Structure 1
Amino acid sequence: MTHHPRQAATFMVLAMLIIGLIDNYVAVIARDVSLWQFQFMRACMGLPLLGLVAFLGFGTLRPLRLWAVLVRNGFIAVGMLFYFGALAVMPIAQALAGLFTAPIFILLISVFVFGEKVGALRIFAVMFGFAGIVVVLGPGNGALTVVNFLPVFGGLFYAMGSVATQRLCANESTIAMLAGLFSLQGLIGLCALGLLALLQPVAPHGPEGFLLRGLVWPVGLTWGLIGVQAVGSLIGVGFLIRAYQSGEPSFVAVFEYSVFIFGPLFAYILLGQAVTISQAIGIAMIAVAGSVIALRSDP
């Protein structure tokens, strides 16, 4: 297979540019609707687009092994729930740092579940990365709570989904996996909205009500933001997949960390979120650890 490093790097940086931009909209969406309504509406917008892409001949919606795709998408869907939930209550720099602990968890899963051998350098990278997690998620004047670790839980489940992608879904169509993920996320959102309609909990105003808020209608300009998020997700993931198809995975993975530039940059421009020195140090530690793990593929 021929590799095109420059092309792969370009695709990955474009993917991270788009994702770093659109994920900032989740914090704005959280002010008006719930996580569950966001997931449901995003699926309703994204699935027809995937159907059109399949109709034009760019892939198939039919999975080879439905159960494998369901397992993989189940892990990813749960991971995204934690990540999107974190975006509503913390700066995107912290949420991204938690999500991008996934390479660390992938290595741990490979060692403790599949018995792979790991050298001293990657063991040190894992410890260095976890130290970076504590630094970037540190609460400052308060104590660490479960909320601080929401994006880390997202990274854990995302890592499990990544392992399942490699071991169970290597030959699956990208469009089939995306359609399955959007469908599952939409179904989870719809079921949660139904449960909230029965329980009718009191949801705080603003982002704090992201998890407890029921169906809100009409949603005004939030329609547009969710639409941008849906379309941007499809394009960004498309570029990400093309990046891994164009270059060596260990080389391409390093460029994923460019999201730590774009995400906080757009957060500062759009939302006025600033990155503290300690957060920047922690992000750098996690990025270095993930890059070492990706590049040092031998034991």
Structure 2
Amino acid sequence: MQSVQSAPPRQRPIYALGLRLMAALVLSTLFMLVKFTAESGVRFPEILFWRQFPTIMLVLGWLAARGQLHRLKTKRLPVHARRALLGLTGMVFTFGAPLLMPLAESTALGFTTPVFAVILSVLLLKERVGAVRWLAVALGFAGVVIIAQPGHAVISPLAASVGLGAGFMVALISIQVRDLGRTDEPLSIVFWFAAISTPLLLIALPFFYTPHSAWQWFLLLSGGALGLLGQLLLTAALRYGQVASVVVMDYSSLVWATLYGWLLWGDLPSTATFLGAPVIIAAGAVIAWREHLLHRRSTPATASGGE
């Protein structure tokens, strides 16, 4: 991974936790809105386009009005491009999962992010991982099996795969965003993600566009605004806090997903979800706790040490 030497931002762990908690609420609302918008007749590729395009206009307009366009300057455009491609792929999974299953189930499968983060730390960062975190990984996937119940058609294999793909992509993207946050501010990271991914979505737009009602336009533009706010909160949380520490706040999104699912679709989590979700959450909490301990004990020279 490309690295640029720069003074890292001052860590503010409590502030980072608060930002991530707000992000969980905003993004839960966004996923609900995506599901609602798709069911109103808007096609999925166009939902993705309008999730990104308003970000460009809003960020440019706000910075131009303040005479601060220089804040978008970056020396790491190739890294931003890689993050944009990963982010676009991640959006397909994270927005696709709620369309294929109830909100609570898709949210619970998304909690596998810390589990995948451990695996990625071994594959990409060559970290040594000991018994505690490997047991947590096994526990997390046991929770997935409980929720999905393979062979019982509770959740289709496609839906389960997309839900797990969302958890994997968020873990991968978090590593990328954390690296970018060392040198670029959150507004710049969010802007370049939208600026690079929107032209790719624009190519597909003519094949999927349909006329919309005023209500559908409201849903699309609201999704874009919520997406911008959610990305700013997520990126800022990763700038001021460790990934392993702030990710525990994501579990609050299950409350919002359950509430939205019940109010709008009459869905309540299945018994399997009530049993499996705490198992996945427990696995993520163990991983976060262990990462926190390792971070406190480590120095920059020993931070990649084992369990």
The TM-score range, normalised by the shorter chain, is: 0.7 to 0.9
Tell me how far apart the structure 2 counterparts of residues 25 and 241 of structure 1 sit (CA, whole Å): 21
What is the TM-score normalised by the length of structure 2?
Answer: 0.82
Q: Relative to 1, partners in 2 of residues 1:166 and 1:11: Cα closer, same or farther, differing over 3 Å?
A: closer
Tell me how far apart the structure 2 counterparts of residues 249 and 215 of structure 1 sit (CA, whole Å): 38
Q: Relative to 1, partners in 2 of residues 1:120 and 1:239: Cα closer, same or farther, differing over 3 Å?
A: same
State the 4+ residue runs in structure 1 displaced beyond 4 angstroms. 244-249
Q: Percent identity?
A: 26
Partner of 1:254: 248
Deviation at 1:167, TM superposition (A): 4.0
Q: Relative to 1, partners in 2 of residues 1:184 and 1:268: Cα closer, same or farther, differing over 3 Å?
A: farther
Partner of 1:147: 159
Residue 25 of structure 2 corresponds to residue 13 of structure 1: no
Tell me how far apart the structure 2 counterparts of residues 245 and 74 of structure 1 sit (CA, whole Å): 21
- How many residues of Structure 1 are paired with residues of Structure 2 in the alignment? 280
Structure 2 unaligned spans of 5+: 1-9, 295-306
Structure 1 unaligned spans of 5+: 198-213
Deviation at 1:176, TM superposition (A): 2.1
- Summarize deviations over 1:45-83 as a string: whole Å, max 9, x none: 221111134333498223321110111121121011012
Tell me how far apart the structure 1 counterparts of residues 16 and 181 of structure 2 sit (CA, whole Å): 22
Tell me how far apart the structure 1 counterparts of residues 36 and 220 of structure 2 sit (CA, whole Å): 10
Residue 145 of structure 2 corresponds to residue 134 of structure 1: yes
- Summarize deviations over 1:119-160 as a string: whole Å, max 9, x none: 211111101111111222336732852232112112222222
Tell me how far apart the structure 1 counterparts of residues 25 and 251 of structure 2 sit (CA, whole Å): 11
Residue 118 of structure 2 corresponds to residue 110 of structure 1: no
Bigger mean CA deviation after superposition, 11-20 or 120-129: 11-20
SS at match of 2:247: helix
Correspondence for 1:54 among 55, 59, 63: 63
Superposition pairs of residues 1-299 of structure 1, within 5 angstroms: 1=10, 3=12, 5=14, 7-31=15-39, 32-55=41-64, 56=66, 57=68, 60-138=71-149, 141-142=152-153, 144-167=156-179, 170-194=182-206, 197=207, 214-247=208-241, 249-297=243-291, 298=294, 299=307
Tell me how far apart the structure 2 counterparts of residues 253 and 260 of structure 1 sit (CA, whole Å): 13
What is the TM-score normalised by the length of structure 1?
Answer: 0.84
Deviation at 1:215, TM superposition (A): 1.1
Tell me how far apart the structure 1 counterparts of residues 237 and 25 of structure 2 sit (CA, whole Å): 13
SS at match of 1:171: coil
Partner of 1:200: none
Q: Does structure 1 retain, via aligned residues, the 8 Å contact 2:110–2:166?
A: yes
Q: Does structure 2 retain, via aligned residues, the 8 Å contact 1:51–1:61?
A: no
Deviation at 1:23, TM superposition (A): 1.3
Tell me how far apart the structure 2 counterparts of residues 241 and 180 of structure 1 sit (CA, whole Å): 13
Counterpart AA for 2:193? L
Q: Does structure 2 retain, via aligned residues, the 8 Å contact 1:75–1:161?
A: yes
Tell me how far apart the structure 2 counterparts of residues 176 and 149 of structure 1 sit (CA, whole Å): 32
Partner of 1:204: none
Tell me how far apart the structure 2 counterparts of residues 285 and 53 of structure 1 sit (CA, whole Å): 43
- Summarize deviations over 1:242-292 as a string: whole Å, max 9, x none: 444555554322112111111221221223221112112222122111122
